[in-house]
Amino acid sequence: MKSLLRLAGFLVVLGCVALAVYYQVGGFKEKVRPGDDSGSRHGATVAGGETGSVRFLELPLVEESVGTLQSRTRVEVSPQIQATILEITRNAGDRVAAGEVVVRLDPRDLDARVGQAEQAERAAEANNKQAEADYARSRELLARGAVSQQEAENARLRVEVTSASLGEARRALEQARIARSYAEIRAPVSGVVIEKNQNAGDVAMPGKPILSLYDPTLLRLEAPVRESLAVNLRRGQAVRVRLGPDQRETSGTVDEIVPQADAATRSFLVKVLVSAGEGEFYAGMFGRLLLDVGTERVLVAPAGAIERVGQLEVVTAVTTGVLERRFVQTGRSFGDCIEVLSGLRSGDRVAVARVDSQS
């Protein structure tokens, strides 16, 4: 007896579920009377709305290559001498102009070398003047026969030696002054500081970057492009890109194509110079390179024809004057239309709950 009651309860629940599903898909809605083709005409009113057609759209086929924004001009500011850092005048995010002092190093050792070189130059200059005076006197004495030819020749050679020493001292002084100028490190280009690698008090070493700069007005999207598409790209070619968190579309120009394919991905690295004002985008941001590779035919239906019942998508098709509920599967949206992957064919008409214009 209990088994029969459980079976009866199960059948009642199953029947309720079946009725609910039948109601959701429009099983209790009134059918259009046979012979009444008003529902199959363009723009006819059906169930409080209108009808629209299912048709093919010819759309451009676009391939996307994901890449990263990088600056075309990126400079590592490094010292040319070893010295203690006294001051770094700029921090990350600061704007600098070309030639502006960004780092000051301890110049005391360099100043001492300049002083030594100046003293050496003065000594060499004095020796040279003395040698020239001695040579002048030796020539006068040689003319009167007071000195030998050999002594006069030796005086001349001393002039050449002291002159060479003076030239060497002057070059050493010039080198010392150049080294002294390295105590002030200037920005080689205009740009924005993006990284500060050292601080005041650290010892600066040649080749070890202190600051990193980049030009925010010259940004390039660097993206790998499969070889079958990359071989058709040319420098200066206009392309489309999407940049930033909102994926805003803007124009770009192919600036460089690295002439070597990646063996693993069979792609070339393409660098696209983007059209953007300063402050719109930043190095390191995500971007997409959009390349037109042809056209595609997409089957679409009016977006207002799609009804969602839970996880299901349903349309009301008008077939020979009869309203028929169909399950469909949709894809991408194109304005007031939506891609139909299955359930409909081109030429079908569907009821549209709300339309702003007729199909």
pLDDT of 204? 92
Indicate the residue type of 18: A
pLDDT of 357? 40
pLDDT of 49? 55
CB 48 within 8 A of CB 148: no
**Residue 10 DSSP SS3:** helix
Mean pLDDT of 27-49: 42
Mean pLDDT of 102-120: 93
Mean pLDDT of 252-280: 87
**Long-range CB pairs of 133-141, under 8 A, 24+ apart, other chains included:** 134/158, 134/159, 135/159
Mean pLDDT of 258-275: 90
Mean pLDDT of 332-351: 90
CB environment 240-261: b (16+ within 10 A), e (fewer): ebbbeeeeeebebebbebeeeb
With cut-offs at 50, 70 and 90, classify the pLDDT of residue 6. low
CB 85 within 8 A of CB 103: yes
pLDDT of 7? 61
pLDDT tens, residue by residue, 131-178: 988 888 888 887 887 778 888 888 889 989 999 999 999 999 999 999
pLDDT tens, residue by residue, 295-332: 889 999 998 889 988 889 999 888 776 788 899 999 98
pLDDT of 40 > 90? The answer is: no
CA–CA separation, 137 and 129 (whole Å): 13
The sign one gets for the Cα dihedral 221, 225, 229, 235 is positive
Give residues with Cβ within 8 angstroms of 172, minimum separation 6.
117, 120, 121
CB 301 within 8 A of CB 337: yes
Return the higher-pLDDT residue of 293 and 21. 293
pLDDT of 355 > 50? The answer is: no
pLDDT of 16? 61
pLDDT tens, residue by residue, 198-239: 999 999 999 899 999 988 888 899 999 999 889 889 999 999
pLDDT of 101? 94
With cut-offs at 50, 70 and 90, classify the pLDDT of residue 22. low
Give residues with Cβ within 8 angstroms of 15, minimum separation 6.
none
pLDDT of 47 > 70? The answer is: no
CA–CA separation, 304 and 38 (whole Å): 20
**Long-range CB pairs of 22-26, under 8 A, 24+ apart, other chains included:** 24/309, 24/310, 25/309, 25/314, 25/325, 26/314, 26/316, 26/323, 26/325
pLDDT of 208? 92
The residue ranges of every structural domain in the chain are 63-72+216-295, 75-105+183-214, 108-181
Using a 10 angstrom Cβ sphere, with 0-12 exposed, 13-18 middle and 19 or more buried, the burial of residue 72 is: middle
CATH class for the domain made up of 63-72+216-295: mainly beta
Return the higher-pLDDT residue of 2 and 249. 249
Tokens of 151: 């002594």
% the chain with pLDDT above 90: 43
CB 110 within 8 A of CB 79: no
With cut-offs at 50, 70 and 90, classify the pLDDT of residue 9. low
Q: Report how far apart, in Å, the C-alpha atoms of 337 and of each of 88, 296, 298, 340 are.
A: 59, 16, 11, 9
CA–CA separation, 300 and 278 (whole Å): 41
- Domain formed by 108-181, architecture: Orthogonal Bundle (1.10)
pLDDT of 3? 63
CB 291 within 8 A of CB 304: no
56 Cα distance to chain centroid: 36
With cut-offs at 50, 70 and 90, classify the pLDDT of residue 289. very high
pLDDT of 18? 58
- Domain formed by 75-105+183-214, architecture: Beta Barrel (2.40)
Paired strand residues for 307: 314
CA–CA separation, 99 and 96 (whole Å): 9
